[in-house]
A and B are shown apart, each in its own frame.
Chain A
Amino acid sequence: DVKVTQSSRYLVKRTGEKVFLECVQDMDHENMFWYRQDPGLGLRLIYFSYDVKMKEKGDIPEGYSVSREKKERFSLILESASTNQTSMYLCASTLAPTYEQYFGPGTRLTVT
């Protein structure tokens, strides 16, 4: 079974802090994604990566950056956390040819 893990289930940070969310997958998947999920807005893509050191912006990249130094690990960075970044953050990975998404358990981030 594919396993995608995320570094924290719950996180509370203060406004202005730099926040790191980490995602690890164990199935050698090429593609990894970061989403945020908010009530009424659904899943929104922040960034994705299709290879080591390769990244592309999703629909809402502002205020975020990412890092993929190893194939199995994809990090999301909030450069200066703000209250409007309070959300559920979901990591996912996919593999050709079917490209179904395998999600991690999610990190519920609260910025106060």
Chain B
Amino acid sequence: QKEVEQNSGPLSVPEGAIASLNCTYSDRGSQSFFWYRQYSGKSPELIMFIYSNGDKEDGRFTAQLNKASQYVSLLIRDSQPSDSATYLCAVNGGARGGSYIPTFGRGTSLIVHP
């Protein structure tokens, strides 16, 4: 059974701080890694994806991947109250029927307080 683990939180950070969200996965053959943001009562929306070891930056967001340690993280710089949401980590492993099927973590709740 492929597993993706996240701390459920809540992670509480002050406005302007760096929020660090972490995710570990069990399938060593996993190829691609995604972070989704989900506001309360809404559906998940993609923030970033990463395939290669190292860092990938997009605006205030940085995804970090370490395949040897089976670890992926999301850093949010200059956190804003509007970043308060649940962040889902997803990992694509093997293909079935021509599509990669993601395994989702249960999400980390982030609260950014003014």
Which residues of A are in contact with B by a Cβ distance under 8 Å?
A: 30-31, 40-43, 45, 48, 50-51, 54, 56, 58, 90, 94, 98-106
For the A-B complex, the count of residue pairs with Cβ-Cβ distances under 8 Å equals: 58
Interface residues as binary, B68-107 with A (CB distance below 8 Å gives 1, 0 otherwise)? 0000000000000000000010101000111111101111
Taking a contact as CB atoms closer than 8 A, the residue among A42, A48, A104 that contacts B43 in the complex is: A104
Contact of A106 with B43 in the complex, beta carbons under 8 Å: yes
Assess whether B61 is interfacial by the CB under 8 Å rule: no
A48-B97, A99-B102, A100-B46 are known contacts; what are 14 more A-B pairs with Cβ within 8 Å?
A30-B98, A30-B99, A42-B107, A43-B44, A48-B101, A50-B98, A50-B99, A58-B101, A99-B92, A101-B34, A101-B44, A101-B46, A101-B90, A103-B45
A100–B63 Cα gap in the complex (Å)? 15
Interface size class of B (residues with CB under 8 A): 20 to 34
Q: Which residues of B contact A54 (CB under 8 A)?
A: 97
Which residues of B are in contact with A by a Cβ distance under 8 Å?
A: 32, 34, 36, 42-46, 49, 88, 90, 92, 96-102, 104-107
Q: How far is the CB of A15 from chain B (nearest CB, A)?
A: 25
Q: How far is the CB of B98 from chain A (nearest CB, A)?
A: 4
Q: Which residues of B contact A45 (CB under 8 A)?
A: 101
Taking a contact as CB atoms closer than 8 A, the residue among B36, B43, B97, B104 that contacts A50 in the complex is: B97
Contact of A42 with B98 in the complex, beta carbons under 8 Å: no
Q: How far is the CB of B94 from chain A (nearest CB, A)?
A: 12
Closest residue of chain B to A49 (Cβ to Cβ) is B97
- Per DSSP, chain B at the interface is strand
- Contact (A98, B32) CB under 8 Å given A40-B106, A50-B98, A50-B99: yes
- Per DSSP, chain A at the interface is strand
Contact of A103 with B99 in the complex, beta carbons under 8 Å: no
- Can you show 11 pairs from A to B with CB atoms below 8 A apart? A31-B98, A42-B88, A51-B97, A51-B98, A56-B96, A94-B99, A99-B92, A103-B43, A103-B44, A105-B42, A106-B42
Contact of A99 with B45 in the complex, beta carbons under 8 Å: no
